[in-house]
Chains A and B, each alone.
Chain A
Amino acid sequence: SQQGEEDPQALSIQEGENATMNCSYKTSINNLQWYRQNSGRGLVHLILIRSNEREKHSGRLRVTLDTSKKSSSLLITASRAADTASYFCATYSGYSTLTFGKGTMLLVSP
């Protein structure tokens, strides 16, 4: 069963614009992770935010977590064509493994 659900399913923006993706989940979590996948490739870990954290930054990435709303957002600032990829959230609830959402496809046009 999939815990995280990303929104929107697809997003198309111009280079230089910001991209925001959201993730909602159903049960309480230990941590939430964001991954990127370029077409036909494996996933790459971007950032992990723990349940007691509200915001985290890594370069042009900003992740927020609202445990009361069971939601997280990933903001990519000043997007580049190289950011074109699918982005997945994954949740860990303290039982065995991560549960991945279906992903958001981001297209950044030059």
Chain B
Amino acid sequence: DGGITQSPKYLFRKEGQNVTLSCEQNLNHDAMYWYRQDPGQGLRLIYYSQIVNDFQKGDIAEGYSVSREKKESFPLTVTSAQKNPTAFYLCASNTGTGVYEQYFGPGTRLTVT
């Protein structure tokens, strides 16, 4: 089955801890994206990568970091510098840029207390 997987589905962390969210795709897509979704806010872009070993900041990159060492993987680290990390995080991929539709993973709900 081709698709995007995110793990875990639910994640709980204590304040001050870094946490890494996993995103894997087997669609052979070049581009991958991380979004944050808060109630009533829609999707906001955190980081995106159009090619391996390269990534760009989105609208709300502060407090987050990413890596793209493999084409199929784009992990997101939520650092302790992120002031309000509790949210629903969505990973997506496509063949490149916004010209094409994006395929989304099922999401990870992160709760930090």
> A44: which B residues are within 8 A, CB to CB?
104
Beyond A100-B42, A101-B42, list 8 extra A-B contacts (CB 8 Å). Answer: A2-B44, A33-B101, A42-B4, A44-B104, A88-B42, A99-B45, A100-B35, A100-B44
Q: Are the CB atoms of A45 and B41 closer together than 8 Å?
A: no
The total number of A-B Cβ pairs within 8 Å is 63
B111 at interface, CB cutoff 8 A: no
Give the distance to chain A from B104, nearest Cβ to Cβ, in Å. Answer: 4
Do the beta carbons of A45 and B48 come within 8 Å of each other?
A: no
CA distance A96 to B76 in the complex (A): 19
The yes or no answer to B74 lying at the interface (CB within 8 A) is: no
Does A25 have its Cβ within 8 Å of any Cβ on chain B?
no
| B2 CB within 8 Å of chain A | no
B interface residues, tally (CB under 8 Å): 29
A58 at the interface (CB under 8 A from B): no
Question: Does A102 touch B at the CB level, under 8 Å?
Answer: yes
Q: Which residues of B contact A101 (CB under 8 A)?
A: 42
The interface residues of chain B lying within 8 Å CB-to-CB of A100 are: 35, 42-44
- A-binding residues in B (CB < 8 A): 4, 6, 33, 35, 40-45, 48, 56, 58-59, 88, 90, 92, 97-107, 109
Number of interface residues of A (CB under 8 A): 26
Contacts of B41 in A (CB 8 A): 102
Q: Does the CB pair B42–A97 fall under 8 Å? A: no
Q: Which residues in A have their C-beta under 8 angstroms from that of B106?
A: 41-42
Q: Given A1-B59, A40-B107, A42-B106, A102–B101 Cβ distance below 8 Å?
A: no
Contacts A1-B59, A97-B45 given; does A42 touch B107 at CB 8 Å? yes
Find chain B residues with CB under 8 A from A98 CB: 98, 102
Chain B residue contacts of A103, Cβ below 8 A: 42
Q: When A and B form their complex, which 4 residue pairs have the shortest distance between CB atoms, in order from nearest? A: A92-B98, A42-B104, A102-B42, A45-B101
